Structure 1
């Protein structure tokens, strides 16, 4: 019995000794490992913390500071749909990629941005004559009887519809068109061509093209203004528009009037000093204080009235007529709304007045 107890005690001593050795060996190995890999271990812990933080941020909606500072161009470049508010207060969801746009009467601005519409505005079978070379092959939509029906417009499958004036959106048209594609409405894009071009560029992801076009036009207008000022001085320029319903003197707030009186800085008659336009008749004609006159036969439909007035003795007695300073303008682009038209008008005015 005593021998059995001794054997048991000896066995336990061996086991305990072996266990102690194992613990010591493991401790030594762990110590070596800690000294050799402490940087890696710390790095792994930090990486884990970073990853956890990133996951947490992602769950909260990502990097908020980046989202809050993104510009419309950056959002478009990222291929994301965005929401804008048009000039009538409609919220419009602009697709990330607009490849088919319908913007009647804004074809000039579209072409300046390097964009061709899916269809173009027309009066009967005639579109904007000065743009037809670039719009060759683009279907015409007749607006002479009103805006196209939703069914007719739907066949072109536009991604975006842009209406250049609020009158186009009246009588439920906006609601009908908005069901076909996102529809953006200007109050009057022709009232400020430069501003509307910049807006259109933003809508189509073409802001750089819009900026370049505007910079080029402003430089052209500035150079022309300098040339004209040396010849015209403080003399005045008038624009008379002959149309079937009457004859009017154009002011300086829109279309060719804006180009001549604001962009080129040429003086205007007192008859339209604070007006968009003024009616002109043979009785009023003697009051026209202008040394240079440009006449426009609106869409070639004012021929009869133009002949009646220009063949009268009152007309022939005008100083501008006597001095040979009356010029017939091309109605195709003098009544156009866009920088392509404006550039052509600038060239016409410089050539007519300075001979250059």
Structure 2
């Protein structure tokens, strides 16, 4: 009996030692797999608003949570597998005109401040990206458990769309591409400025008069885009922005204050379908005819999403509109252009 007991205790101790050795080996193996030295071979450390993330060197299943990041990612030559985009009508998902041809094949979801984590998980992403937003910061840990997640600075860089392109490029190690894109933008701006100045000289007996353009949009009221808005920065780059505008995003304009829009050209957009009736009501107001651009038959209705866009491709789409209406539309046909735009708005 005593011999049996000693043998039992010996075997029990031997089993415990073996179990501990197996656990130690398993733990050592796991540490080797997740160690920074090992993972650094397959990813790059990227600093962002929530700290740092080891981004895969060649991510194949990227999910962009917002349209701003989607637009800049596509501009850099990278195509996500899924993205959240803004849609003014509940239950619909409409690609913005300036992105429509470039995001074919991407699974689009209606943008929301509370993205569906289960849906994102089913996509099996290897990288999640988004502009920094308080709601996304609140679920950053959950997103990071699904895949490496980068929240690209936005409010932290004062909504600077050019800097956002650069920050997005850092995520993918494409800073040189971003520099080339911005150089191309500035080159196009300078060329367009020269054309506009030439047109002004021809119409003013070789003497350039101050010539200003503005963007206004309707969203439960009329708002005039200011210097720090997306459209404001582009018009300012072109030298078309009135010096009277403030360093803000938008200024609400009451019906009685319509005449303060004293630009020679006015581009107008509506946030959603229901806002078009508000715009139609404003056009019937006697004070609408007091707006300088209305008197000069230079009011052009443009796509709100494009002019409010903030992404790099939207900037070129805004330049397209400016070139279309101020360069390629003869002055004799501008009254006709305004009439057609008004009919489209009513519809």
TM-score range normalised by the length of the shorter chain: 0.7 to 0.9
Report the Cα offset of residue 265 of structure 1.
Answer: 2.0
- The residue aligned with 1:117 is 80
Q: 2:242 is matched with which residue?
A: 268
Identify the residue that residue 108 of structure 1 maps to in structure 2: 71
Give the Cα separation in 2 of the matches to 1:165 and 1:310.
38
CA distance in 1, matches of 2:196, 2:242: 14
The answer for the alignment partner of 1:354 in structure 2 is 327
CA distance in 2, matches of 1:167, 1:179: 18
Counterpart in the other structure of 1:228: 196
Q: What is the rounded CA distance, in whole Å, between the counterparts of 2:122 and 2:229 in structure 1?
A: 34
The answer on whether the counterparts of 1:236 and 1:269 sit within 8 Å (CA) in structure 2 is no
Q: Residues 196 and 246 of structure 1: is their aligned pair in 2 closer, same or farther, counting only changes over 3 Å?
A: same
Corresponding residue for residue 83 of structure 1:
45
**Residue in 2 aligned with 1:15?**
none
1:300 partner SS: coil
Partner of 1:283: 256
Partner of 1:323: 296
Aligned pairs for 1:123-272 (under 5 A) are: 123=87, 124-130=91-97, 131-144=99-112, 146-170=113-137, 172-188=138-154, 191-230=159-198, 231=200, 233-243=209-219, 245-261=220-236, 263-268=237-242, 270=244, 272=245
Question: How many residue pairs were aligned?
Answer: 273
Task: Give the CA deviation at 1:355.
Answer: 3.1
Shift of 1:343: 0.8
C-alpha distance in 2 between matches for 1:113 and 1:176: 27
Contact 2:93 2:109 in 1 (8 A): no
Deviation sequence 1:279-324 (CA, Å, 0-9, x none): 0111111222222111111233410110111121110132211111
How far 1:327 sits from its partner (Å)?
A: 1.0
Tell me what 1:338 maps to. 311
CA separation in 1, counterparts of 2:287 and 2:195? 32
- TM-score w.r.t. the length of structure 2 is 0.72
Deviation string, structure 1 residues 56-99 (Cα, Å, up to 9, x no partner): xxxxxxxxxxxxxxxxxxxxxx965222221x241211222222
Q: Describe the shift of the 1:254–1:165 C-alpha distance in structure 2 as closer, same or farther (beyond 3 A).
A: farther
After TM superposition, give the deviation of residue 165 of structure 1 in Å: 2.9
CA contact (8 A) 1:291 1:320 kept: yes
Higher-Rg member (1/2): 1
Q: Which runs of 5+ in 2 are unaligned?
A: 1-39, 201-207, 330-347
Q: CA deviation at 1:226?
A: 2.2
How far apart are 1:328 and its partner, in Å?
A: 0.9
Unaligned runs of 5+ in 1: 1-77
**Structure 2 residue matching 1:260: 3-state secondary structure:** helix
Q: In structure 2, what is the Cα distance between the partners aligned to 1:267 and 1:336?
A: 18
- 1:181-214 deviation per Cα after TM superposition (whole angstroms, max 9, x unaligned): 1211134278222222122222113333323222
Q: Deviations over 1:207-234 (max 9, x none)?
A: 3332322221121112112222442742
- Following TM superposition, the consecutive aligned residue runs of length 4 or more in structure 1 with deviations greater than 6 angstroms are none
Q: Name the Cα RMSD after superposition.
A: 2.2
- Structure 2: distance between partners of 1:165 and 1:226: 37
Partner of 1:25: none
